[in-house]
Amino acid sequence: MMSTSKFQEIGQILRDHQRFAILGHVRPDGDALGSQLALALSLQALGKEVRVWNEDGMLEKYSFLPRAELLTKPPSTPEDFDVAIALDTAIQNRLGTALVAIRSSKIWINIDHHPSNPGYGDVAHIDSSAPATAEIVFHLIKSQGLPFNRDIAENLYAAISTDTGSFQYPQTSAHTFEIAAELIRTGLDVGRLSQQLYENYPRRRLELLRELLRTMRFQQEGRVASFGLTLKTAAELGVLPEDNEGLIDHLRAVRGVIVAVFFEELSDGKVRVSMRSKSDTVDVCAICQKFGGGGHALAAGARVRGSLPEVEERVLAEIRAKIGSLKAAAPPMT
Ligand code: AMP
Ligand code: MN
Ligand code: MN
């Protein structure tokens, strides 16, 4: 839950220092990028010197975010900071090349909402009840009286909207809507923002979905659904890594499906596994942790070494074992 003293401690550090690096996880989503920009804009308005780095740079699809140009790929020559802040990043090495670009930092702050976050850094504020890291950033800004304006609000709104599946996922609370209301009161245009977020995809994303649906598999009487993407297909379609964010929701949305999995072949000999659960009885974070990953109970991921078919079989076997053990208790939904 909200921790006033933690916010005070972080607020004091922000006020007392000058040079900041604001970082987020590789393969960023709306929450990582929006939270990074929001906090950066607030600190900038406070007169601080701020670098906003993400291994992947600003994604094309989020480049409409206010002041998106502030967020860049990290430089190849490392720099020194007073304070480095990791946002929305469950494991420190998921900062990727942004971590390497910090030669030194007097203080490391870790702000996140992943329950699997071990609390790395000098000051960690992990609130696993928050549906988005942006909610925590909002509280930090508000509780500490840090600068707040419409550009900041738009970034926070985009982050919260995307991480809650448009205010649908279970952690979405009355409080989330109260925050959204406060963000909207800055004058932001919900219709325009939603269109930029959800109705502005490149056509190749749909072409990718068509290919993924061709590989779709159902197992365990329809409780487990999966599809996969080879490097070859990705190259043929000319898709970017960011194009597949959210496509797994098509599997999750099928009646009877409890676990949805997306397998993506990567160029480094690993497979990116993305997993969603629709039931409190199946914790996909626990399953992904067995493969070195992490995340949330209902949305998690891992990067697993091996070929696409190998990883598919190993991961699906683990899910079948979990689902099989539930079967006696819960008959299949039809
Ligand atoms: P994704 O399926 O990539 O949208 O990720 C779902 C959730 O799992 C996100 O909250 C991620 O931060 C987390 N996650 C994804 N991949 C990993 C990984 N390799 N290690 C730890 N957490 C991950
Ligand atoms: Mn994220
Ligand atoms: Mn998040």
State pLDDT tens for residues 86-108.
999 999 999 999 999 999 999 99
pLDDT surpassing 70 at residue 333: no
Residue 101 has, within 13 A of its CA and on its CB side, a CA count of 22
Residue 171 Cα to ligand 2 midpoint, Å, equals: 15
Residue whose CA lies nearest to ligand 1 atom number 15 = 301
- With a cut of 70, say whether residue 285 has pLDDT above it: yes
Instruction: Name the more confident of 329 and 142.
Output: 142
- Per-residue pLDDT averaged across 302-311, rounded? 98
Give all strands (DSSP E) within 142-255, no chain letters: 217-219, 224-229
Question: Ligand 1: which of 94, 164, 251 to mutate, most ligand atoms within 8 Å of CB?
Answer: 94
What is the spatial distance between Cα 50 and Cα 81, in angstroms, rounded to a whole number?
Answer: 9
Angle, to 10 degrees, between the axis of helix 30-45 and the axis of helix 150-163?
Answer: 160
Q: State the CB neighbour count (10 A cutoff) for residue 224.
A: 22
- Which token pair is 172? 């979405």
Confidence of residue 329 (pLDDT cuts 50, 70, 90): low
Residues with CB under 5 A from ligand 2 (ion): 29, 31-32, 88
Helix (H, G, I), strand (E, B) or coil at 225: strand
Q: How far apart are the first and last CA of the chain?
A: 38
Ligand 1 nearest atom to the CA of residue 302, by list position: 19
Q: Which amino acid is at 160?
A: I
Quick one: which ligand is closest to 300's CA?
Answer: 1
Are the C-beta atoms of 295 and 90 separated by less than 8 Å?
Answer: yes
| Residue 23 CA to ligand 2 centre (angstroms) | 12
Looking at ligand 1, which residue's alpha carbon is closest to its atom 8? Answer: 300
Nearest ligand 1 atom to the CA of 114 is: 10
Number of other residues whose CB lies within 10 A of the CB of residue 170 = 12
Q: How far is the CA of 159 from the centre of ligand 2 (A)?
A: 9
Q: In this structure, which residue's CA is closest to atom 22 in ligand 1?
A: 294
pTM, 2 dp: 0.92
What is d(CA 153, CA 247) in angstroms, rounded to the nearest whole number? 27
Residue 233 corresponds to which amino acid?
A: T
The 8-class DSSP code of residue 282 comes to -
Tell me the pLDDT tens digit for each residue of 228-249.
Answer: 999 999 999 999 999 999 999 9
Rounded distance from Cα 130 to ligand 1 centre (Å): 16
CB atoms within 10 A of CB 23: 27
CATH of 204-324, one of 3.40.50.720, 3.60.20.10, 3.40.47.10, 3.10.310.30: 3.10.310.30
CATH of domain 4-198: 3.90.1640.10
Alpha carbon nearest to ligand 1 atom 13, residue: 295
Ligand 1 site residues (CB inside 6 A) read 25, 90-91, 94, 114, 274, 293-296, 299-303
Question: In this structure, which residue's CA is closest to atom 10 in ligand 1?
Answer: 295
Whether the Cβ atoms of residue 165 and residue 159 lie closer than 8 Å to each other: no
Give the closest ligand to the alpha carbon of residue 54.
2
Alpha-carbon distances of 228 from 69, 209, 237, 249, 317, rounded to whole Å: 33, 10, 14, 14, 16
Average pLDDT value for residue range 127-145:
98
Domain limits of the chain? 4-198, 204-324
